[in-house]
């Protein structure tokens, strides 16, 4: 019996020939990625006086930059002090920052065949790079910062075979919404993404799907390695790496085929994700007060280009507002070079600094009681982006941009048709 790509990584990191479903293994991590929030005094987490390996720890300030409150300002100060005292080599504070999951990609820390540990729940994002990556929480990260290892249970894997081509106006975000809508949660299961459809998913697309796999409650989400992965990492990889692929006789609990050809834009309804998704046509016309494009799910240059294509020469509806937050400083630089920021500003959108920002409701762009937000960020939980009496719906950046212009939820395919018809 062969192993899946993930099982191979867990076997290597636990010095075993092989691992099997049900095994609980102790693994050395290759990279430990820490972020700002655990340093806030409200988190009350003790500070290590020695760390496992300062050269393998990456510290990124992302959730609350620049500091929105004194509590967070003190936390960022504590994070900076920790970086200095412990000699953390890879430290990315304000101005050289981005959302941690985007930075570890851009800077080549998330590498094929490696095990990347991070406290944040959307760590699955790095699975796009054929990397084993799972969100672990701040206390487990404290353990890892000290010891460089942690445990995993080897869970069964669901394999998604992707095929076909997405129609115009349909995006990778719609693919993962479709999976969540049809198959629901994947507790105690890993997911892997393979198949001919990967050819038409660039790395940004895979990062979107991998990030949102956290909302499936999956353990690990891992993509196959291919020439696109290799090309992305060519000038970025921090070190040499060895990709992994699932053996032909690896065991899967289920194999499901996702055909892109048939997909439509998909909207996640308020408060929870599994089995809570509708085609955009069913919710079109619903008023929105705020649109948000950003986060580790959809704040990349590819997402901003899609938004700009829709917003160029148009205006955000007077009864709506649109906030656009790049996922990293590099994304912001690219957006400036390509003239996207001017398009956004002329359309009446707000363009912010890179940060998690409105996604986790800790910083800028909150929504008030009775308001409705359509977002391309990661979660639709009650109260997450502000008032508990607000509603959060989720959609692709194209659907968000088109809806912000209309002031109501609308199908981005219609908006594009209008443009093509010269209206």
Per CB under 8 A, the list member of 2, 137, 196, 370 interacting with another protein is 137
List Cβ<8 Å contacts ≥24 apart for 16-22: 19/154, 20/154, 21/154, 21/155, 21/156, 21/251, 22/153, 22/154
282 scored as a contact of another protein (CB under 8 A): no
388 scored as a contact of another protein (CB under 8 A): yes
272 scored as a contact of another protein (CB under 8 A): yes
C-beta of residue 42 within 8 angstroms of C-beta of residue 36:
no
The DSSP-derived string for 230-294 is HHHHTTT-SS--------TTB--SEEEEEEGGG---EEEPTT--TT-EEEHHHHTT-B-SEEEE-
Enumerate residues 24-43 that contact another protein by CB under 8 A: 24, 37, 40, 42-43
Cβ distance to another protein smaller for residue 218 or 335: 218
Q: Quick check: helix, strand or coil at residue 1?
A: coil
Enumerate residues 335-374 that contact another protein by CB under 8 A: 360-362
- The site string for another protein over 147-176 (x = CB under 8 A, - otherwise) reads x---x-x-----------------------
Cβ distance to another protein smaller for residue 217 or 228: 217
Measure CA 63 to chain center.
13
Counting Cβ atoms within 10 Å, is residue 252 exposed (0-12), middle (13-18) or buried (19+)? middle
Per CB under 8 A, the list member of 94, 140, 163, 338 interacting with another protein is 140
54 scored as a contact of another protein (CB under 8 A): no
Cβ distance to another protein smaller for residue 150 or 403: 150
Phi-psi region of 47 (alpha: psi -120 to 50; beta: other; left: phi over 0): beta
Enumerate residues 231-270 that contact another protein by CB under 8 A: none
For residue 60, CA distances in Å to 5, 204, 254, 349 come to 28, 20, 37, 27
Backbone angles phi, psi at 12, to 5 degrees: -60, -45
Question: Least Å distance between CB 336 and another protein?
Answer: 31
47 scored as a contact of another protein (CB under 8 A): yes
Question: Least Å distance between CB 238 and another protein?
Answer: 24
139 scored as a contact of another protein (CB under 8 A): yes
Binding site for another protein (CB under 8 A): 24, 37, 40, 42-44, 46-50, 69, 71-72, 119-121, 134-140, 142-143, 146-147, 151, 153, 185, 187-188, 215, 217, 219, 271-274, 360-362, 379, 381-384, 388
């Amino acid at each position: 019996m062969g192993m899946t790509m993930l099982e191979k990584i867990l076997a290597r990191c636990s010095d075993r020939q092989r691992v099997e479903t049900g095994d609980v293994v102790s693994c050395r991590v290759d990279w430990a990625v820490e972020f700002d929030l655990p340093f806030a005094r409200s988190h009350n987490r003790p500070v290590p006086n020695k760390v496992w390996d300062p050269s393998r720890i990456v510290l990124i300030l992302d959730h609350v930059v620049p500091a929105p409150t004194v509590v967070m300002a003190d936390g960022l100060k504590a994070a900076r002090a920790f970086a200095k005292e412990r000699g953390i080599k890879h430290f990315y504070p304000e101005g050289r920052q981005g959302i941690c999951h985007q930075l570890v990609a851009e800077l080549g820390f998330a590498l094929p065949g490696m095990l990347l540990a991070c406290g944040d729940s959307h760590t699955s994002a790095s699975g796009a790079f054929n990397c084993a990556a799972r969100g672990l929480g701040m206390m487990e990260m404290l353990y890892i910062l000290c010891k460089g290892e942690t445990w995993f249970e080897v869970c069964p894997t669901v394999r998604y075979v992707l095929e076909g081509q997405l129609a115009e106006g349909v995006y990778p975000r719609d693919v993962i919404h479709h999976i969540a809508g049809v198959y629901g949660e994947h507790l105690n299961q890993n997911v892997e993404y393979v198949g001919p459809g990967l050819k038409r998913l660039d790395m940004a697309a895979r990062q979107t799907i991998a990030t949102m796999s956290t909302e499936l409650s999956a353990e690990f989400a891992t993509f196959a390695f291919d020439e696109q992965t290799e090309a992305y990492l060519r000038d970025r990889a921090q070190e040499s790496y060895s990709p992994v692929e699932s053996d032909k006789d690896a065991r899967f609990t289920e194999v499901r085929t996702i055909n892109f050809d048939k997909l439509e834009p998909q909207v996640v309804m308020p408060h929870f994700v599994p089995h809570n998704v509708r085609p955009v046509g069913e919710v079109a016309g619903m008023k929105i007060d705020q649109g948000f494009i950003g986060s580790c799910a959809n704040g990349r240059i590819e997402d901003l280009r899609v938004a700009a294509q829709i917003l160029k020469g148009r205006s955000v509806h007077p009864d709506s507002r649109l906030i656009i937050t790049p996922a990293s400083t590099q994304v912001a630089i690219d957006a400036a070079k390509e003239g996207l920021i001017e398009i956004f500003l002329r359309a009446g959108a707000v363009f912010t600094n890179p940060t998690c920002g409105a996604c986790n409701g800790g910083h800028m762009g909150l929504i008030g009681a009775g308001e409705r937000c359509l977002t391309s960020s990661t979660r639709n939980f009650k109260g997450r982006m502000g008032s508990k009496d607000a509603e959060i719906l989720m959609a692709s950046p194209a659907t968000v941009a088109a809806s912000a212009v209309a002031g109501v939820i609308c199908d981005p395919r219609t908006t594009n048709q209008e443009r093509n018809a010269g209206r």
